[in-house]
Amino acid sequence: MAVEYSCCGMGFIIHIVVIVFLVMFAGLMSGLTLGLMSMSLVDLEVLAKSGTPKDRKHAAKILPVVRNQHLLLCTLLICNAAAMEALPIFLDGLVSAWGAILISVTLILLFGEIIPQSVCSRYGLAIGSTVAPFVRVLVWICYPVAFPISKLLDVLLGHGRVALFRRAELKTLVNLHGNEAGKGGELTHDETTIIAGALELTEKTASDAMTPIAETFAIDINAKLDKDLMNLILEKGHSRVPVYYEEPTNIIGLILVI
């Protein structure tokens, strides 16, 4: 039978402190599970090498912790489960069994899941960097239990190798940047066009880059370079204008337009 503690007694205060700690600890574990596990190693490597100075510092602290993803996942889930299972035990000393269940569910749902995950999903990099030393300690403490489970996950699911973007995925990413170019994005429309064109280069053939001869602007070799012809050449805007002899298909040279 649960022991009841009087309000404001030492036992009551200790239980309140432990309950608050368990809720905060469970919330931290839940938030880190979402915040850290949602970061791919590719994203962290990119941030560590080419992010802002602050992001580089944060990513460099997080990378060693996240590299063994299954071990980190097992550690966070074990700690989170332990805190959530211990919470009703301490609440049972203050309220009835049903009250302990209702209060624990409410506290865990609000302060142990919704709020921490919302915060860590937005500031996961900064929070993960701050608590990285603490997470290392937790990994060391939970190692006897977490390591065998993580190895089993490695065997069943693989080691979670670095997944690089495929060509089509990179092209889509560049196109998204192109769509945001007019909304303050860091890449201009011309830059995204050049990058997308480079990604498509291996799929292009010479015919794709050619203009049909019937649609080509060319001039006869006997044409006079008078003012009207010069204006027409400039109006067309080409840097090189083909020159033909008698027939438009008989190209004999080019005029360079500077």
pLDDT tens, position by position, 113-131: 888 888 888 888 888 889 9
Instruction: Please tell me which residue, 42 or 252, carries the higher pLDDT value.
Output: 252
Query: Measuring CA to CA, how many Å separate 234 from each of 126, 175, 254, 256?
Result: 55, 32, 15, 11
What SS3 string covers the chain? Answer: CCCCCCCCCHHHHHHHHHHHHHHHHHHHHHHHHHHHHCCCHHHHHHHHHHCCHHHHHHHHHHHHHHCCHHHHHHHHHHHHHHHHHHHHHHHCCCCCHHHHHHHHHHHHHHHHHHHHHHHHHHHHHHHHHHCHHHHHHHHHHHHHHHHHHHHHHHHHHCCCCCCCCCHHHHHHHHHHHHHCHHHCCCCCHHHHHHHHHHHCHHHCCHHHHCCCHHHCCCEECCCCCCHHHHHHHHHHCCCEEEEEECEEEEEEEEEECC
Complete edge-to-edge strand list for the sheet that includes strand 247-256: 219-220, 240-245, 247-256
Kindly indicate the confidence band of residue 148, based on its pLDDT and cuts at 50, 70 and 90: very high
Q: Which two tokens stand for residue 239?
A: 């840097």
Q: Rank 90-94, 122-126, 139-143, 229-233 by mean pLDDT and report only the highest.
A: 139-143
Kindly indicate the confidence band of residue 40, based on its pLDDT and cuts at 50, 70 and 90: confident
Instruction: Please tell me which residue, 57 or 197, carries the higher pLDDT value.
Output: 57
Using alpha carbons only, how large is the chain's radius of gyration in Å?
33
pLDDT in tens, 41-83: 878 888 888 878 888 888 888 988 888 889 999 999 999 999 8
Q: Please determine, for residue 134, whether its predicted confidence score (pLDDT) is greater than 90.
A: yes
What is the rounded distance in angstroms from the CA atom of residue 74 to the CA atom of residue 153?
Answer: 10
> Mean pLDDT, to the nearest integer, of 88-103?
75
Q: Please determine, for residue 136, whether its predicted confidence score (pLDDT) is greater than 90.
A: yes
